[in-house]
Amino acid sequence: MTTNWKRIAGLGVSAIAMASAGQAMAQQDNSGLVLEEIVVTADRQDSYGADFVQAGSFRGAHQIDTPLTVSVISEQVLKSQQAQSILDALRNSPGVTSSQTSPTVYNNLAIRGIPVENRGNYRLNGSLPIVNLIDLPLENKVRVEALKGASALYYGFTTPSGIINLTTKRPTLDPVFSVAVNGNDHGQVQGHIDAGGTWGILGVRGNLVYGSVDSGIDNTWGTRNFQSGAFQLDPSDNIRINLDVEHISKTVTEPTVVQGRTTTATLMTVLPQLPSASSNPGSRGFLNRADATNVLGRVSWTITPAWNLVAEGGISYVERDRRFSRLANFDPVTGDGVLTMGAADGQLYRNKNGRIELAGTFATGPVIHELMIGASKNIRRQYSPLTVSFLAGGAGSNANCIAIGLAPGCVQNLFNPVDLNDIRYSGATPYDPTRDTSIKDTGFYAFDRMRFGGPNDDMFSVLVGIRKSIYKETRETVAGPSEETFSDKPISLSGGLVFKPKEWISAYATYIEGLESTPGAPIGTENQGEILPASSSKQYEGGIKVEPQKGLLFTAAYFDISRQLTYTNAANFFVKDGSATYRGFEFSLTGELTPELSIYGSALFLRAKQGETADTALVGNRIENTAKRQWSLSGEYRLTQLVEGLAINAGAYYTGARAINPQNTLFVPGYTLFDIGGSYSFEIGGMGMTARVNAQNITGKKYFASTSSNYLAFGAPSVIKFSLTANIF
């Protein structure tokens, strides 16, 4: 499949996003209207808060001007908490939960109970859709953002859970060279080098990581390595060229998860006791291997002070060999289940993406317009070979059951598991074209933000946007030519109002029509891997944002999202049937309370209900894996008056009870986790050093980390993380 990159274009402009005046903020000066672009490196340093947003068309926008719920996890939060995964970072944001799988291999997430689609909802530098089927590294990132809700006008077909955006470190004017080592009390050790600088018109920033992986769970082990380069070329004052390249490799054992019976009459109604946090009834040989490459190029041309042209293009490519194991037909009383393991070698996921956008500002009388027009194209290919079942409990797999150390039938016990042999199984199969699917999502958009009133001409803003999409899903055939399985050419609209009576407060109301590609049917269902037709969603949101003091931001929002419902039915088929509504309030307080004390607090109150479906017994039930209440509170206190360079941090994270299936036959209980840590910065021979230590889950709480579709995955053991960084220059 080839791509005509001359026709690829990008930035579907979100009406909401453009409420933020950061990326394209018109200002009046002696030379007239100016299109101002704020670079993210100008954001606050060593802060738990962030002035600007980088997701989507929010790029460079002031948080107080963005009329949507956006959680920005700053670099200081990532450093302070020694975050090593997307879930580590986003546990600070309410409504983010792990779903179905153990979060050891990668983070399969849901926001507000809506799946974060792994092929389209994760973005690099606000643009390239990167495939989240491997642990996405944070070592070369300055922030993680969750832009919550529908975002179709900018990103096309994505689930209305939200966009998770990763922003890379950029080249600096002064040379940077640091070396770090990190590890944990379970034996994990990794090394990290970060180096770069600017020479003339060329800037370079590189990161290298290599080391072992150990979560403390029995019978798991692995390694990971990562290389990245960020290049910046300024051939003239009005042209900037950026290129970001990263390669990720990870090999690790995926712990076995539990799945209760899936037929209606035998659904789990009894909560199993929690096993030891380190317990894993699987084998060390259930290894997953994944390699990913992400490449993103960007050219920005400032045509005049009031007009800017941007073109971007990139590719994200993942190859994966997966070993997924579960205790099927699990009995919560005895702890017995049938150990199953399927292998699928040669999984392939590829995203090609591009955009071209013209943005400018002009005035018509007292109204200042910020206009953006453009086009985007995204091509997603997924090849998911049929899983080879090596352990299934049937007569045909008895030999493998015996080989791995179990009796015929492969019965294994969760509470007192049999130690299994380390056997590596092959999942290689001949190429099957019917498992090779593609999505082409082309969009054309126009957006206008009209603002007027007040001394800065931004007291009132009216937002209108429209996107025309051309969407097609195809599947390869044995005969050769591909066949179309679904297509649509929808028009989506968005609009909103923003009222900003003072520089430190804003109130907004927005409406967005969303478009989403339906996630593939999960492993363990009768139609696993099947891609269901795309669907639409609608979102209403209103809220306020207040900055009571510089560097401290309070937000409060109400949201109402309606979408088509997907779930695993009583026949164990993953289906799209009926409707779902997600309504709730979300609050956050982030930034600095005092020069010494930083805080990151958030809370969510959610009512997620299933609407009309073919199964009337499901109507009104709570949507699986949604907690009615979720909150977190973390902070860092710098003890500079006692000891220069010394700081302590702590956090508490609460997730409420969640249903394990659409039938609501069982709810896993809520839990609260507590963390504590500290850091000390000092010098040796003029070289800056920073030592950090963090203890996660200090009370040793045992809990259910993930659920949905009758799956149960358990929380990892408590861990003490440490690191030592040397800033050579």
DSSP letters spanning 113-158? TEE--TTTSEEETTTEE---SSPPP-TTEEEEEEEES--HHHHSB-
Would you say 9 and 374 are in contact if contact means Cβ atoms under 8 Å apart? yes
Q: Residue 422 pLDDT more than 80? A: yes
Supply the pTM of this predicted model.
0.91
What number of CA atoms fall less than 13 Å from residue 26's CA on the CB side?
26
Nearest to residue 465, comparing CAs of 55, 149, 13?
13
Reply yes or no on whether the pLDDT at 202 is more than 90: yes
Q: Between 676 and 64, where is the model more confident?
A: 676
**Alpha carbons within 13 A on the beta-carbon side of 184:** 20
pLDDT value at position 23? 36
pLDDT on residue 698: 97
pLDDT classification of 59: cutoffs 50, 70, 90: low
pLDDT given at position 683: 95
Q: What is the pLDDT of residue 19?
A: 34
CA torsion, points 523, 524, 526, 527, in degrees to nearest 10? Answer: -10
Q: What are 10's strand-pairing partners?
A: none
Q: What is the pLDDT of residue 112?
A: 87
Alpha carbon distance 88, 51 (integer Å): 22
Please give the pLDDT value at position 690.
Answer: 98
pLDDT tens figures, 519-545: 667 766 777 767 777 788 899 999 999
Q: Kindly state the percentage of the chain with pLDDT values over 70.
A: 92
pLDDT in tens, 346-399: 999 999 999 999 999 999 999 999 899 999 999 999 999 989 999 876 555 788
For the chain, the residue count is 729
Q: How confident is the model at residue 573 (pLDDT cuts 50, 70, 90)?
A: confident
Q: Does residue 270 register a pLDDT over 60?
A: yes
Pick the closest to residue 282 from 317, 306, 258, 310 (CA basis).
258
- Report the DSSP pairing between strands 436-452 and 411-413: unpaired
Q: Cα 502 vs. chain centroid, distance in angstroms?
A: 33
Q: How far is CA 414 from the centre of its chain?
A: 30
pLDDT of residue 13: 31
Mean pLDDT for the stretch of residues 416-440: 94
Least confident of 5-19, 339-353, 391-405, 665-679: 5-19
Q: Give the DSSP H/E element, type plus range, for residue 77.
A: helix 75-80
CB 254 within 8 A of CB 325: yes
Q: In the 3-class helix/strand/coil scheme, how is 461-522 assigned residue by residue?
A: EEEEEEEEEEEEEEECCCCCCCEEEEEECCEEEEEEEEEEEECCEEEEEEEEEEEECCCECC
pLDDT of residue 103: 76
The alpha helices in 299-445, defined as continuous H runs, are: 398-404
Tell me the three state secondary structure of residue 88. helix
pLDDT mean over 138-163:
87
Distance CA 290, CA 215 (A): 18
pLDDT at site 37: 57
pLDDT for 691 equals: 98
Mean pLDDT, the chain, integer: 89
Site of tokens 């800017």: 308
> At 90, which helix (H) or strand (E)?
helix 86-90
The β-bridge partners of 638 are: 647
Report the pLDDT value the prediction gives residue 5, as an integer from 0 to 100. 33
Q: How far apart are CA 607 and CA 680, in angstroms?
A: 43
Q: Is the pLDDT of residue 421 over 70?
A: yes
In sequence order, which residues have a C-beta less than 8 Å from that of residue 315 and are 6 or more positions away? 128, 293, 294, 295, 350, 351, 352, 353
Stretch 493-497: mean pLDDT: 90
Containing H/E element for 194? strand 189-199
Rounded average pLDDT over 124-131? 94
pLDDT band at 18 (very low <50, low <70, confident <90, very high): very low
* Domains defined for the chain, CATH in brackets: 17-274+296-332+354-388+426-727 (2.40.170.20)
Looking up tokens 């958030």 gives 602
pLDDT band at 723 (very low <50, low <70, confident <90, very high): very high
pLDDT at 318: 97
pLDDT at 16: 34
What pLDDT is stored for residue 29 in this prediction?
39
Helix (H) or strand (E) holding 89: helix 86-90
